[in-house]
Amino acid sequence: MHRSFAVRLLTRWFASSLGLWLAAALLSSHISYGDTLGGVIGAGFLLAILNMLLKPILVVLSLPAVILSLGLFMIVLNGVVVIVASWLYAPLHITGFWPAVFAGMVIGLLNWLITALLEENKNHDRA
């Protein structure tokens, strides 16, 4: 059974906020979000929305690059989504493309990890 839209959005929001907070802690001279809880939560929400709406469009438009790179181009797309979020949300400031790619990698890995843990928990509960 598929998870509801609200659960997916909340999961992505949490992962995006946590990933952005971690990336900013690791690259504090390149990534900032206003150093407030509201700043990281707001940026995480925007990233979650962009990952659900914009990223699928970007994947389709860049499908040849994704295929030719065996999926590694998805790392670049994650960085593009982070840059777009920084353009749309003033408290989020990214100094360049590579810090955005790094933030996208951290967010993507956390999203994958959190989703995998939730799925494992759900499958474990059924058994």
Per residue in 77-126, pLDDT (tens digit) is 999 999 999 999 999 999 999 999 999 999 999 989 988 888 777 666 66
18 falls within a domain: no
7 falls within a domain: no
Would you say 103 and 54 are in contact if contact means Cβ atoms under 8 Å apart? no
Would you say 81 and 54 are in contact if contact means Cβ atoms under 8 Å apart? yes
Residue type, 102: F
73 falls within a domain: yes
Q: What is the pLDDT of residue 35?
A: 81
Would you say 99 and 30 are in contact if contact means Cβ atoms under 8 Å apart? yes
16 falls within a domain: no
9 falls within a domain: no
CA distance 98 to 79: 8
41 falls within a domain: yes
Q: Is the pLDDT of residue 5 over 50?
A: yes
Q: What is the pLDDT of residue 2?
A: 58
The residue segments making up the domain with residue 54 are: 35-122
CA distance 25 to 18: 11
Q: What is the pLDDT of residue 126?
A: 65
pLDDT top residue among 16 and 8: 16
Give backbone dihedrals phi and psi of 93, rounded to 5 degrees, phi first.
-125, 125
Whole-model pTM? Answer: 0.87
Confidence class of residue 1 from pLDDT cuts 50, 70 and 90? very low
Identify which of 4, 1, 61, 8 has the alpha carbon closest to the alpha carbon of residue 80.
61
CA distance 18 to 73: 23
Domains identified in the chain, total number? 1
Q: What is the pLDDT of residue 23?
A: 94
20 falls within a domain: no
Instruction: Convert the pLDDT of each residue in 37-84 to its tens digit.
Output: 999 999 999 999 999 999 999 999 999 999 999 999 999 999 999 999
5 falls within a domain: no
